[in-house]
Chains A and B, each alone.
Chain A
Amino acid sequence: MADTLLEMRSITKTFPGVTALEEVSLTVRRGEIHAICGENGAGKSTLMKVLSGVHPTGSYAGEILFDGKPVRFNGIRDSESVGIVIIHQELALVPFLSIAENIFLGNERRGAGGLIDWNRANAEAGTLLASVGLNENPVTPVIQLGVGKQQLVEIAKALAKDVRLLILDEPTAALNDIDSAHLLDLLRTLRERGITCIMISHKLNEITAIADSTTVLRDGRTVETLDMRDGQVTQDRIIRGMVGRDLTSFYPDRESAPGAEVLRVEDWTVRHPVQDRNVVEGVTLHVRAGEVVGIAGLMGAGRTELAMSVFGRSYGRDVTGRVFMHGRQVRTRTVAEAIANRIAYVTEDRKRYGLNVIADVCRNISAAALGKLSRAGWVDGNEEISVAEQSRRNMNIKTPSVMSVVGKLSGGNQQKVVLSKWLFTDPDVLILDEPTRGIDVGAKFEIYTIINRLVADGKAVILISSELPELIGMCDRIYALSAGRLTGELAVSDATQENLMALMTKEKEPAR
């Protein structure tokens, strides 16, 4: 078939003890945007690793046809030589090198005598940057760019390799809505230029907005490929394929019955650790027992910075303002003080800030409250295990044993371990920073259920999220932050994605 660019036939890939892919087939038409979705562990990344040659020919069964011809890849270089380029979720740019150096890394523009011709490289880089709509000097070090712009540099780098099939793994996961929209526009432009694109994404609204076809994977098998061009396929339809069941109500219901005020933060101002500006300015907010309060804001609005500075001055300098627990002013100058005042903060990036991934489940759960398990500095190891076992049952953590290393669990289960750790500190208020980022739909639902259970038990929850439907689905009230200032507070009954976004972008536009 002339209009088929890529065909993967009956790909089966096994790892010791696990079948990651079983008879997976994927057909991508020339010039389309093809979305791949599925829960974590469904086999999306493995499939892309097979396609890009990370898993070499011979390590899997099945065949790959590119442009109608069978291809055999023994590494990234092989797949790139025919024009297949993959951009990973964790961007692979070298921070201290310039944009141009990054774009031509491993693909250098050589001049006389094999030396690199930097004039040519910088000039070509400038052209490429223009084609992805990035207005930056090619000699700027990548570290000075935000994540959104770095993503564009990655795409420019792919274009420099004469890409024919561009694979993007969760391209918008770390982007704010404006950058995401820009990226999706760019993908449409690339499509017009005839570049075929495979996009792995958890964000179903983006898939329905942009994709021409969607292939759904579940448990290492192809469930279905949906034709999206007529616009009939809804997010619910995709979710049904991913989880194999209808999610009539994606956010579990909850009786809202807020009680007395638990945490109040007054006039909170935080300076950037090195730059001369306020990251958070004069923020006042409160949360009551049995209440979920959302904080909405774009990247750089100061949501995480607000939370981390309240939680033991873990961010910023010259922090001013007052923190009250149950109406009484408290000191939270160190993390230990914050914990002692029954504040818990579940960090945004689990692996970097939340977990010791090389330690076992048990030790991660006890890490923030070892004092409760010890006498005179000696830890009661048996009690620790029983606490961990209890969490495992209550939270439904899927792990072979509480002695298993956390790094081997799936994202959703890792998040449940982090939650267990903080619940064991017996907090009155939990600040959850992007608690469902990068975890699959089923695990998300479990996390939501846990949050609801917590507020039913009288805890107060502050939910920081980039996903507006999540905030609207889960919260009682939502604060909007923009450039460090509070720009609004809405009861959930008044909140819509549109008016929240209006508040989040109020005052000044974020600098380009």
Chain B
Amino acid sequence: MTSTRPAPEPDTASSASAPAAALHTGTSDPRTLIMRNLRQSGIYVAFIVIVALFAILTDGVSLSPGNITNIVLQYSYILVLAIGMVIVIIAGHIDLSVGSVVALTGAVSAVLVIQQGQPWWVGVLAALAVGVAVGAWHGFWVAYVGMPAFIVTLAGMLLFRGLTLQVLDNISLSPFPAEYQRVANGFLNGLLGGQGFDAFTLLIAALAVAGYAVSEFRTRVARIRYQQPVESFPLFVARVVLVGAVIMFFGWQLAHARGLPIVLIILAALVIGYGLVTRRTVFGRQVYAIGGNLSAAMLSGVKVRTVNFWIFVNMGFLTGVAGVIYSSRANGAQPAAGNMFELDAIAAAFIGGAAVSGGVGTVVGAMVGGLIMAVMSNGMQLMGVDQSTQSVIKGLVLLLAVAFDIYNKRRAGTSR
């Protein structure tokens, strides 16, 4: 969670009035301020409420060091998929194949490493290469043939599930060597010696907080220099302190369990990297432009086909990453691996505020959306809620999240 941005961060198109609301802190009464910010940050508030709810329902077990570590390990691959998925969705597409492709990449890796005895990194590279190739395949049909992604990836879902079965010859393969297992199950621990907790994890958390504070401060200074509205200074400090406290609590709990999970480092790097790619690069802008108005993007000189192609290649790459993490965690490859992962990833993106019609969504939003699903599943498991009820509740949450979003947009849109 090191990179989770706080509520009032003016992000992409969705938060146009947030700075304006903040600007009026001195004049507008607290209630309107809260209401305005609530609209922008409903998803974050919902996340906090859900975390608090399950902390109470489970007598604090859900926030215990061991359980927080578990959530990270169990849902990391869904979050990795959600990063790619939100980009696909922003551009106005969908990818239904990622579950099958997770299985295929894991299977290829398992065949190489387990059956043929190749070193662990050959398996990792092969999985990534297969992911990229699948992405290029999808990208070709969507971008250059002009087929709807729904159909292309629905076909891919069947196709790559079938290939998985063929690669594995219908059997499961296990176990992976220890190095390979470390990708998803390993920890950095005791690098600075232990005093009953892992000082290294705390150091990393502290660095993350410092990095976050510095970057936020620099953004603020730049915005002031360019005469853009910013939130009042006490509010700014409160926000940075709050996020810092959350990160430190998270680090503290990890430090008292098994240390810093390697997969968390991978995930954090991806979230920060893709957060920057979507917000700060020409490619990212073009993705939003295509999803927002395809014709306008074309007539603005965006090479729509090229961008669409690379969106799917990127989705394939991240699916490969998720395939490695999943096979590593499962310590093997199964023909049915990754079943329904696409739906979890799509749900994460939509709960996180992405629009069905494209053009809207953020990587950080998708991460929070994914975490909401994760915390809920995990909490309900801790409480012993049976599988069928869990499914019903998760379905309702997805439905209500998107309904809430549409309601908000409609209300925001009635000003004329």
Contacts and interface: CB of A to CB of B under 8 A. Distances in A.
Contact of B16 (A314, A353, A360, A374): A360
Interface residues of A, number: 47
A359 B13 contact: yes
Nearest to A352: B295
A408 B416 contact: yes
A17 B415 contact: yes
Contacts of B12: 359
A15 B286 CA distance: 35
Q: Which of A17, A338, A339, A367 has the most CB of B within 10 A?
A: A367
A363 interface: yes
A385 B415 contact: no
A460 to B, nearest CB: 20
B31 interface: no
A336 interface: yes
B13 A360 contact: yes
Interface string A391-429: 000000000111111011000000000000100000000
B280 interface: yes
Given A356-B292, A358-B359, A381 B280 contact: yes
B288 A363 contact: yes
Interface in B22-55: none
A368 B302 CA distance: 8
A358 B226 contact: no
A194 interface: no
B19 interface: yes
Given A336-B303, A421-B300, A16 B415 contact: yes
A405 B300 contact: no
A411 to B, nearest CB: 11
Given A370-B282, A400-B20, A359 B288 contact: yes
Contacts of A345: 299
B116 interface: no
A335 B289 CA distance: 15
A355 interface: yes
A219 to B, nearest CB: 14
B410 interface: no
Contacts of A403: 10, 16, 19-20, 228
Contact of A358 (B13, B284, B301, B414): B13
Interface in B224-238: 225-229
A170 to B, nearest CB: 17
Contacts of B302: 335, 367
A68 interface: no
A371 interface: yes
A381 B278 CA distance: 12
A389 interface: yes
Given A359-B292, A379-B280, A403-B16, A16 B414 contact: yes
B13 A363 contact: yes
A336 B301 contact: yes
A401 B301 contact: no
Interface residues of B, number: 42
Interface string B279-305: 111111110110011011111111100
A335 B16 contact: no
Nearest to A368: B300
Contacts of A15: 414-416
A379 B285 contact: yes
Given A377-B281, A378-B280, A356 B288 contact: yes
Interface in B292-348: 292-293, 295-303
Contacts of A334: 301, 303
Interface string B83-124: 000000000000000000000000000000000000000000
B383 interface: no
Contacts of B301: 312, 334-336, 338-339, 368
A18 interface: yes
A401 B223 CA distance: 13
B222 interface: yes
Interface in A364-393: 366-368, 370-371, 374, 377-379, 381-382, 385-386, 389
A378 B282 CA distance: 6
A412 to B, nearest CB: 14
A393 to B, nearest CB: 11
Nearest to B293: A356
Contacts of B292: 356-359
A401 B10 CA distance: 13
A9 B295 CA distance: 44
Nearest to A308: B299
A421 to B, nearest CB: 7
Contacts of A408: 415-416
B360 interface: yes
Interface in A1-25: 15-18
A311 interface: yes
Nearest to B300: A368
B299 A353 contact: yes
Contacts of A377: 281-283
A340 to B, nearest CB: 8
B282 A367 contact: no
A354 interface: yes
Contacts of A359: 12-13, 288-289, 292, 359
Contacts of B17: 400, 404
A347 interface: yes
B296 A367 contact: yes
A409 B413 CA distance: 11
A359 B302 CA distance: 16
Contacts of B283: 377
Nearest to B292: A356
Given A311-B299, A421-B300, A357 B293 contact: yes
A378 B281 contact: yes
B299 A354 contact: yes
A421 B413 CA distance: 24
B105 to A, nearest CB: 27
B182 to A, nearest CB: 33
A42 to B, nearest CB: 13
A366 B297 CA distance: 12
Nearest to A425: B301
Contacts of B355: 358
A345 B296 CA distance: 11
Given A358-B360, A378-B281, A389-B226, A367 B13 contact: no
A335 B298 contact: yes
Nearest to A349: B295
Contact of B285 (A355, A363, A386, A407): A363
B293 A314 contact: no
A314 B281 contact: no
A404 B16 contact: yes
B13 A405 contact: yes
A356 B359 contact: yes
A82 to B, nearest CB: 27
Contacts of A385: 223, 226, 228
Given A338-B301, A378-B281, A385-B226, 8 more contacts: A358-B360, A363-B289, A382-B223, A389-B226, A401-B229, A404-B17, A405-B16, A408-B416
27 contacts: A15-B416, A312-B301, A335-B299, A336-B301, A339-B301, A345-B299, A347-B299, A352-B296, A353-B295, A354-B299, A356-B288, A356-B289, A356-B292, A358-B13, A359-B292, A363-B289, A366-B285, A367-B300, A368-B300, A374-B281, A377-B282, A379-B284, A385-B223, A402-B228, A403-B20, A405-B13, A407-B413
10 interchain residue pairs of minimum CB distance: A356-B292, A368-B300, A335-B301, A336-B301, A356-B293, A367-B300, A359-B13, A405-B16, A353-B295, A339-B301
